[in-house]
């Protein structure tokens, strides 16, 4: 399953010693958004999704090599560092400063702790199933009920930063990179660029449905403890020019990281398929 990329605003930890300016900016952002923890979660999500790929059966000839390749590819520390480099290039000083100011607020710390906690909780299949059932209930709830109102607030949060479209775009880009990696590694012989684009665009509706379901169930879970006024304040910040610019810079950086990862996973899958047919 594609896991939606979401933007978090967390409290900044003071630097204990002087670093070169670029390094200091990177460390400040990493501390503010708890990025090491976030990328630990994302690395685990990616590994688990790839390990459960039905194309790689337990006991198959290339299973051990496949697992080793995934451990190298989903290196949380490398993912984190690559992301920070891409984000640093995408942010203006003004947007960076505004994002860090919000991160230092009480609401910013609260919201982002809730987001990362929910993201980690959804690694559990049981909790993921429960969150999806809660979404089904909220979608069927009568207008004006607490469940319906909570879903409306979540949908507003999603809409102000265009999170569905950004994640669909990311999903299509990473899917294309995956198949490109397979072709470059010698599998799917004869597939040209136009063929790959056709294959990827055929997945657009499924990606959109998956992203929408996951985003709504995730945010319903994450924002349960927030009051209506807290949600309104958060949505207003996210909708501001600075908040939206920060969100888009984050997606630009995520795209750079996950397109590279998907290409490498595709190449590793090709290597496995080739070994398994020997």
| C-alpha span between 184 and 189 (Å, rounded) | 9
**What does the pLDDT average to over 144-153?**
97
Between these two residues, 164 and 275, which has the higher pLDDT value?
164
What Rg do the C-alpha atoms of the chain give, in angstroms? 20
Residue 21: its pLDDT value, please?
Answer: 38
At residue 15, does pLDDT exceed 70? Answer: no
Ramachandran sector of residue 184 (left: φ over 0; alpha: ψ -120 to 50; beta: rest):
alpha
At residue 29, does pLDDT exceed 90? Answer: no
Task: Tell me the backbone φ, ψ of residue 16, rounded to 5 degrees.
Answer: -95, -10
Residue 27: its pLDDT value, please?
Answer: 67
Please tell me the total number of residues recorded for the chain in this structure.
278
Does residue 16 lie in a domain region?
A: no
- What is the rounded average pLDDT for all residues in the chain? 87
**What does the pLDDT average to over 78-100?**
92
- Under DSSP, the state recorded for 38 is H
**What does the pLDDT average to over 134-157?**
97
Task: Give the structural domain span for 268.
Answer: 21-276
Residue 8: its pLDDT value, please?
Answer: 34
Does residue 7 lie in a domain region?
A: no
Assess contact for 106 and 9: CB atoms under 8 A.
no
Does residue 8 lie in a domain region?
A: no
At residue 263, does pLDDT exceed 50? Answer: yes
Tell me which H or E stretch contains 44.
helix 35-51
Does residue 232 lie in a domain region?
A: yes
| C-alpha span between 253 and 28 (Å, rounded) | 16
Does residue 4 lie in a domain region?
A: no
Counting the structural domains of the chain, the total is: 1
At residue 64, does pLDDT exceed 80? Answer: yes
- Can you read off the two tokens belonging to residue 160? 């102000």
pLDDT, tens digit, 9 for 90 and up, residues 160-219:
999 999 999 999 999 999 999 999 998 877 787 789 999 999 999 999 999 999 999 999
Residue 12: its pLDDT value, please?
Answer: 24
**What does the pLDDT average to over 103-121?**
92
Does residue 2 lie in a domain region?
A: no
Does residue 240 lie in a domain region?
A: yes
Does residue 60 lie in a domain region?
A: yes
Ramachandran sector of residue 58 (left: φ over 0; alpha: ψ -120 to 50; beta: rest):
beta
User: Percent of the chain scored above 70 by pLDDT?
Assistant: 88
């Amino acid at each position: 399953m594609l896991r939606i990329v979401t933007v978090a605003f967390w409290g900044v930890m003071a630097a204990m010693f002087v670093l070169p300016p670029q390094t200091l900016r990177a460390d400040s952002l990493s501390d503010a958004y708890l990025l090491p923890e976030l990328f630990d979660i994302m690395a685990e999500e990616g590994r688990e999704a790839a390990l459960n790929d039905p194309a790689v059966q337990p006991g198959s000839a290339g299973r051990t090599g496949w697992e080793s390749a995934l451990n190298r590819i989903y290196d949380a520390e490398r993912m984190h560092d690559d992301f920070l480099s891409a984000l640093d290039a995408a942010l203006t000083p003004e947007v960076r400063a505004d994002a860090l100011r919000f991160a230092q607020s009480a609401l910013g710390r609260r919201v982002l702790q809730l987001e990362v906690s929910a993201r980690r909780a959804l690694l559990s299949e049981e909790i993921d199933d429960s969150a999806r059932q809660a979404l089904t209930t909220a979608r069927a709830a009568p207008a004006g009920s607490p469940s319906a109102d909570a879903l409306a607030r979540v949908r507003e949060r999603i809409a102000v930063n265009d999170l569905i479209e950004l994640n669909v775009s990311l999903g299509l880009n990473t899917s294309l990179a995956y198949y490109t990696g397979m072709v470059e590694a010698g599998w799917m012989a004869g597939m040209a660029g136009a063929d790959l684009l056709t294959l990827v665009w055929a997945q657009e509706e499924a990606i959109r449905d998956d992203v929408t379901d996951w985003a709504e169930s995730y945010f319903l879970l994450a924002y349960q403890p927030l009051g209506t006024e807290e949600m309104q304040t958060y949505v207003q910040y996210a909708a501001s020019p600075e908040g939206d610019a920060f969100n888009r810079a984050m997606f630009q950086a995520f795209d750079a990281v996950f397109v590279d990862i998907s290409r490498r996973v595709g190449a590793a899958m090709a290597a496995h398929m080739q070994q398994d047919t020997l």
